[in-house]
Chains A and B, each alone.
Chain A
């Protein structure tokens, strides 16, 4: 079965880099995602990576995928107070639709 695990909490100072880690168990994953959830808001897709890629960079965000270890990370450079939110790692298998398995979420607290 699928299982996605994340640490629950991360605290960083404004301006530092944040690294949020995730492990997953299903080697059949085809897409891996990072979602951001702010209070009272819906889930926002931040970025995603195909399973045949090792890295993806998008402005302040860098996603690293170690498929051998089934480890995914999200690095946020120059973390801002507006980055404070819960970040969910998620995976989906092939099948052509978004039956997504989410992790439990990492709460990022940015200290001014």
Chain B
């Protein structure tokens, strides 16, 4: 596609439910990143993939959070047993590789009630 596409754009879920957030990167982009942005804050790094390999997951807050990119393209960020503190904007970015510009999607606004 023309840009990074994230779905859904908005997600409201009840506490304790699992959610899966999807990221469709720019075609051919090798690297894919997930960030989380709380209200009034800057984005915070969660995890990074190079092709299908998860190279860095140091930013994932706890083991309820996981991410995968099985075929080196689309990625899914899964949050199990959601809590209210998980409410945030989740942003995905992709880049051609290396330390080049990463292009961000519009994000998924997650609200846990």
Listed in ascending order, the chain A residues whose CB lies under 8 Å from chain B are 4, 30-31, 40-45, 48, 88, 90, 92, 95-105
Contacts and interface: CB of A to CB of B under 8 A. Distances in A.
B85 to A, nearest CB: 18
Given A42-B3, A97-B55, A98-B48, 20 more contacts: A31-B99, A40-B106, A44-B104, A45-B101, A88-B43, A95-B99, A97-B31, A97-B50, A97-B98, A97-B99, A98-B31, A98-B33, A98-B95, A98-B99, A98-B100, A100-B35, A100-B43, A102-B42, A102-B44, A105-B40
B22 interface: no
B93 interface: yes
A99 B98 contact: no
21 contacts: A31-B99, A42-B4, A42-B104, A42-B107, A43-B43, A43-B104, A48-B101, A90-B42, A95-B99, A96-B98, A96-B99, A97-B56, A97-B95, A98-B99, A100-B35, A100-B102, A103-B42, A104-B40, A104-B42, A105-B41, A105-B42
Interface residues of B, number: 29
Contacts of A44: 104
A48 B95 CA distance: 15
B25 interface: no
Contacts of B42: 4, 88, 90, 102-105
Contacts of B55: 97
A43 B4 CA distance: 11
Nearest to B47: A99
Contacts of A48: 101
Interface of A is mostly: strand
Interface in B61-75: none
Contacts of A99: 33, 45, 48, 56, 59
Contacts of B43: 43, 88, 100, 102
A105 B40 CA distance: 8
Contacts of B3: 42
A3 B41 CA distance: 13
